[in-house]
A and B are shown apart, each in its own frame.
Chain A
Amino acid sequence: MYFDDFSFDENLDFFTGKKIMLNNDGYIYGNMFKDEYVPYKNYSVYRLNGKDEKERLKLKIMEETFIINDLNLYLDIHPNDEDMFNEFKKHNKLLEEYKNEYENIYSSLCLSGIKNKYNWINSPWPWEDKA
């Protein structure tokens, strides 16, 4: 499970560094640009933990997918920002590596990831993850 070790983390390197979040912290905050985070009341963010190798790898894929999504929205209206485009390319490459690794060891995440066996129908589906 992902939430077995919920903890508020006060040591995040959030307010230092560049415009973009460091160490992929953006995923747990829900935004990749550090000046955009607006906390609600005194709630903090949650670290996400996979309970085993499979979950940790899947979490990396989800994290990279999120990063690409958030940079994608920014690049849509700033298509000439070369620095951000380089970030985007870097994470796209990481996502491809993680997905390949996951699909080779476990199961396909998309139709084009089906390798030797038709495992697309295998449970659990994303909405069936058990706590």
Chain B
Amino acid sequence: MDDKLFEILEYGVYGASILLILIGLYAVLTKRSLIKIVIGMSIIDGGIHLLLITIGYLKGGTAPIFSPGYEEAAAQMVDPVPQALVLTAIVIGFGVTAVALSLIIRLYRHHHTLEIDEIKRLKW
């Protein structure tokens, strides 16, 4: 791949991950529906996962698997650690989202609404 193109692409991916994080933050901070807030949270998670994967990427990288006959490929392997981190983080994000949605179900049964403004019995 062309060096220049790769550089542009790399910045593009970094920019996309930051943009995803910001979109998610916007949703969490401004939306009034509980479901939309949880969706925003998931978008933030997605942005961070993309960021982590990008950090570990290498130009022209291959999968980090050692196989016979390809010993010299080690220099071209992408860093496997961020990928392991992202796998773990995806599972954790899934768990948190599941708990959040179950709490939303219970809140809906209590209040019969998902508007966050109408659910404020507890104050600071």
Partners in one complex: no
List residues of B whose CB falls within 8 A of some A CB. none
List residues of A whose CB falls within 8 A of some B CB. none
